[in-house]
C-alpha cells in the first residue's frame, strides 16, 4: 500500500511539473502569432541553454526561420517572447509606445544583492527619476573636463603596448581591458589605479572576475532573466559577495576622504555625492514624497550606480576596442585611412594633447567604431517587458502586463537583406550616403529610445581617443595564430574572442613600418 502511495505521489508530482513546464506553450497559438513548436523545459532555445551553440547564433537561426515577417513568437524556456524583426516595428515598441515597454524586467534586489539595483535594472518611476538625475554627468561639458584624464590613460596605453610586445606580438584583449579599467577608475572614482602598469591591481582583478567567462556565470545569467524567483530560492547572487564588499568599501573610502578633506573632482562620484546631498535636502523639506517615486541614494544604491558605470564601460568599451583593432589588422586599407585622419588632426595640434573638439573631428574613426559595433554588438539582444496592456498596432495581438519582447540585435545587424555582405567590414556603411540604405532602427548596439545607453557619448570619446593614440604610434598586423574569421568564446554571455586577439605590433618609426 505504501509503495502504491509513493508511486501515486510521484505520478502526481510529475504531472504537476509537466503542467508547469508546458502551461504557457499555447500562448502564441491562441494569439495567432507565427511561432515554432516549443520543447518541454527548453522552449525554442535548447541548443543555447545546453551550450551546444553560441547564443547569438542560436537566436540568429530563430530570426531567419521567420524571414519576411515583422515579428514572431518564441519560447525562451517556458517564457513566451515576442521577437521583433522589422525595424519599423522595433521603433514602434522602443519609442512610440515606450510608455508600455519602459522596463527590462531584470531581477533587482537591493537588500540581498545590492549591486543588482543599477540604472540598467531599475524600473518604473525609480528608473526615470534616477536617469534624469544622472544624465547631466554625461553632458558635453562634463566629457570635455574628463579628456585630460583620458589623455593620461592613453599615454599609459601606448607605453603598455610597446612594453608588452613579446617577439613583436601583443594580446590586445587584455591590453584594452586594462585601458578601460584605468579610464573608469579615473573618471568614476577620480583615482589612478595604474592597472596598465600594475598587472596585479586589485581593481583590475575585480573587473576580470566580473566578466570571466564560465558556464556557471552564464547559467546564473539565464536564471536571472527567465527564472528570477529561483535566485532567492537557490540563494544565488548576480554579483559575488567579495566583489560587492570590495566596491562598497571603495566607494565609502572615497566619499569619507572627500567629505573630510573638502576635495572635489570632475568625475562621476562627485556628481553622485552632490545628488545625495540634494536628495537629503529635498526630503527634509518634503517628507511626503511618494515612496515609489523616491530614489534614496544610500551607500548601497550609490555604489550600485558606480558599479554599473564600471561594468558597462569596462566590458562594452574593451570588447569593442579589441574587435576594432582586430578588424584594423586584417583590413589594412581601413587602418591606413584611419591613421591618415589621425595624422591630419595631430598636425593641427602641433604637439599639444588631443582635445574634446579634436576628438569630435575624428569622423572616420567613428565610422570604424560604428561598423565594429555592427559586427560585434556589445549587447547582442535587447529585452523589454510590457508594463500596461497593449495591442500590437494594426493587429489583434494582445500583450498582458509582464509579457516579454525580445530584439535580436546581432541577427538584425548581420541580416544580408539589411546590410549586404554582412561579414565584410565596411565603415562606409556609416557615411552620409551609406546610412540612407538602411533603417536607423536596424542598428542598435546602444539600444534606442528613452532607455538608450546613458554613457554612449562617453564611450565614443574614450574609444576614439584610445584608438587614435594607438594608430599614432603603431602599425597593427595580424599574427600567424590570429583566427580569420573571428571565433567567439562559447562560455561568454557577451561576445568575447576565443583565445584572445594576438596582433603583431610595429612601431611607426621602425624602418620596416
Asked whether the beta carbons of 110 and 117 are under 8 A apart, the reply is yes
| All residues at 6 or more sequence positions from 212 whose CB lies less than 8 Å from its CB, including other chains | none
Cα 197 from Cα 396, distance rounded (Å): 60
Query: What DSSP character marks residue 11?
Result: H
Q: Cβ-count burial of 506 within 10 angstroms (0-12 exposed, 13-18 middle, 19+ buried)?
A: middle
| All residues at 6 or more sequence positions from 432 whose CB lies less than 8 Å from its CB, including other chains | none
Cα 176 from Cα 154, distance rounded (Å): 11
Cα 303 from Cα 75, distance rounded (Å): 35
Please check if 324 is assigned to a binding site: no
Handedness of CA 456, 461, 464, 466 (dihedral sign): negative
Count how many residues are written for the chain: 513
Handedness of CA 370, 376, 379, 381 (dihedral sign): positive
Asked whether the beta carbons of 493 and 375 are under 8 A apart, the reply is no
Handedness of CA 442, 61, 331, 164 (dihedral sign): positive
Query: What DSSP character marks residue 106?
Result: -
| All residues at 6 or more sequence positions from 190 whose CB lies less than 8 Å from its CB, including other chains | 254, 265, 267, 269, 270
Q: Cβ-count burial of 13 within 10 angstroms (0-12 exposed, 13-18 middle, 19+ buried)?
A: exposed
Cα 219 from Cα 242, distance rounded (Å): 20
Angle subtended at Cα 173 by Cα 167 and Cα 177, rounded to the nearest 5 degrees:
120
Alpha helices in 332-455 (DSSP H): 332-349, 356-360, 363-375, 409-413, 432-435
- Backbone conformation region of residue 354, classed left if phi is above 0, alpha if psi is from -120 to 50, else beta: beta
Binding residues: 453
Residue ranges of the annotated binding site for heme are 453
Amino acid at each position: 500500500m505504501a509503495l502504491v502511495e509513493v508511486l501515486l505521489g510521484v505520478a502526481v508530482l510529475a504531472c504537476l511539473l509537466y503542467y508547469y513546464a508546458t502551461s504557457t506553450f499555447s500562448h502564441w497559438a491562441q494569439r495567432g502569432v507565427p511561432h515554432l513548436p516549443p520543447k518541454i523545459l527548453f522552449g525554442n532555445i535548447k541548443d543555447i541553454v545546453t551550450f551546444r551553440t553560441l547564443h547569438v547564433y542560436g537566436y540568429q537561426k530563430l530570426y531567419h526561420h521567420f524571414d519576411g515577417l515583422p515579428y514572431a513568437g518564441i519560447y525562451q524556456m517556458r517564457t513566451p517572447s515576442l521577437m521583433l524583426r522589422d525595424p519599423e516595428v522595433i521603433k514602434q515598441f522602443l519609442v512610440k509606445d515606450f510608455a508600455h515597454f519602459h522596463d527590462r524586467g531584470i531581477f533587482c534586489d537591493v537588500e540581498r544583492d545590492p549591486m543588482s539595483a543599477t540604472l540598467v535594472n531599475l524600473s518604473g518611476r525609480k528608473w526615470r527619476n534616477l536617469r534624469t538625475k544622472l544624465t547631466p554627468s554625461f553632458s558635453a561639458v562634463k566629457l570635455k573636463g574628463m579628456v585630460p584624464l583620458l589623455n593620461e590613460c592613453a599615454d599609459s596605453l601606448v607605453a603598455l603596448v610597446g612594453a608588452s610586445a613579446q617577439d613583436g606580438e601583443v594580446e590586445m584583449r587584455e591590453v584594452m581591458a586594462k585601458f578601460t579599467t584605468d579610464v573608469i577608475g579615473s573618471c568614476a572614482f577620480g583615482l589612478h589605479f595604474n592597472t596598465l602598469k600594475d598587472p596585479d591591481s586589485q581593481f583590475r582583478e575585480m573587473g576580470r572576475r566580473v566578466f570571466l567567462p564560465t558556464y556557471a556565470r552564464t547559467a546564473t545569467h539565464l536564471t536571472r532573466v527567465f527564472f528570477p524567483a529561483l535566485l532567492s530560492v537557490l540563494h544565488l547572487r548576480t554579483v559575488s559577495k567579495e566583489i560587492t564588499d570590495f566596491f562598497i568599501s571603495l566607494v565609502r573610502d572615497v566619499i569619507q576622504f572627500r567629505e573630510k578633506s573638502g576635495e572635489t573632482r570632475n568625475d562621476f562620484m562627485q556628481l553622485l555625492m552632490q545628488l545625495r546631498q540634494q536628495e537629503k535636502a529635498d526630503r527634509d523639506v518634503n517628507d511626503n514624497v511618494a515612496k515609489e517615486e523616491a530614489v534614496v541614494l544610500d551607500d548601497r544604491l550609490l555604489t550600485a550606480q558606480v558599479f554599473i558605470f564600471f561594468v558597462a564601460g569596462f566590458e562594452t568599451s574593451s570588447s569593442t576596442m579589441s574587435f576594432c583593432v582586430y578588424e584594423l589588422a586584417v583590413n589594412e586599407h581601413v587602418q591606413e585611412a584611419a591613421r591618415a585622419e589621425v595624422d591630419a588632426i595631430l598636425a593641427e595640434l602641433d604637439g599639444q594633447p588631443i582635445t574634446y573638439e579634436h576628438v569630435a573631428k575624428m569622423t572616420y574613426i567613428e565610422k570604424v567604431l560604428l561598423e565594429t559595433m555592427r559586427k560585434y554588438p556589445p549587447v547582442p539582444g535587447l529585452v523589454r517587458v510590457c508594463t500596461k496592456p497593449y495591442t500590437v498596432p494594426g493587429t489583434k495581438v494582445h500583450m498582458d502586463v509582464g509579457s516579454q519582447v525580445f530584439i535580436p540585435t546581432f541577427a538584425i545587424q548581420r541580416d544580408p537583406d539589411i546590410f549586404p555582405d554582412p561579414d565584410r567590414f565596411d565603415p562606409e556603411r556609416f557615411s552620409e550616403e551609406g546610412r540612407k540604405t538602411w533603417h536607423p532602427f536596424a542598428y542598435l548596439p546602444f539600444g534606442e529610445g528613452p532607455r538608450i545607453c546613458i554613457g554612449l557619448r562617453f564611450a565614443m570619446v574614450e574609444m576614439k581617443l584610445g584608438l587614435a593614440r594607438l594608430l599614432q604610434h603603431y602599425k597593427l598586423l595580424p599574427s600567424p595564430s590570429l583566427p580569420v574569421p573571428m571565433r567567439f568564446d562559447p562560455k561568454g554571455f557577451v561576445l568575447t574572442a576565443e583565445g584572445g586577439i594576438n596582433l603583431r605590433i610595429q612601431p611607426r618609426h621602425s624602418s620596416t613600418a
